[in-house]
Amino acid sequence: MKNTDRLFGSLELLVLKTLAAGPNHGFGITVHVETVSKGLLHMEEGSLYPALHRLERERLISGEWRQTDNGRRARLYTLTAGGRKRLTENEASWSSVALGIERVLRFV
């Protein structure tokens, strides 16, 4: 995360949010984030995998080896119930943090 990794937990938040739309593999997550942010956010691919494994250890997501549509083997991650709950919490706190920062920046 070039633009956002100064904000704590943003990478995890984006991963959880992306997986909320359906199971996906690491590469799919980077493409999704880039496309949806219209190129504003660019994931640093090397640090995505440690994050995925950390989330899996915390049982927020679960991974499984599958065949992709174009015949490659990839590890697909699915959001668990715990992950869904964590996403809701983090979305709320992120919004308030973002709002707070926005207000500070706007103050002249």
Partner 1 sequence: MKHAIEWLRRLFHRDSAWQEEIESHLAMRADWHRQQGIEPDAARTRAARDFGSPLRALEAVRAVHWAPWLDALAQDARHGLRVIRRSPAFSLAAVATLAVGIGASTAVFSVVDLLLFRSLPYPRADRLVSLGFSGPIDTSEFNVGNAYLDWRVHQHASTAMTSMYPGGQCDLGEAPPLRVPCIQVEANFLATLGIIPAAGRDFHPEDDRPGAPKVALLSYPVWQSRFGGDPGAVGKTISLDDAPVRIIGFLPRTFEMPQLGEADVLLAEQLDEGVARAPRSTVFLRTFARLKDGATAETARQQMLPLFTDSVRRYVPPQLQREVGLVVRSLRDRQIHDVKLASWLLFGAVLALVALACANVANLMLARAAARRKELAMRAALGAGRGRLARQMFTESLLLSLAGGAAGCVFAWGLLRAVVAMAPQALPRLSQARMDGRVLLFAIAVSLAAALATGLLPAWERLSAAALAGWHSAGSGRSWARPVLVAAQVAISLVLLTGASLLVRSLWKLESESLGFQPRRVVTATFTLNRQRYNSVEKQDAFYSEVSRSSPVFLESADLP
Among 13, 14, 15, 25, binds partner 1 (CB under 8 A): 25
DSSP for 48-83 reads HHHHHHHHHHTTSEEEEEEE-TTS-EEEEEEE-HHH
Cβ proximity to partner 1, 34 vs 91, nearer residue: 34
Q: By CB under 8 A, which span of 2-10, 15-23, 43-51, 85-93 interacts with partner 1? A: 43-51
Name 27's Cβ contacts closer than 8 Å, sequence gap at least 6. Answer: 74
CA distances from 50 to 47, 58, 99, 101 (A): 6, 12, 29, 28
Q: By CB under 8 A, which span of 16-24, 71-79, 91-99, 100-108 interacts with partner 1? A: 71-79
Kindly state the smallest distance separating residue 29's Cβ from partner 1, in Å: 10
Counting contacts by CB under 8 A, is residue 53 touching partner 1? yes
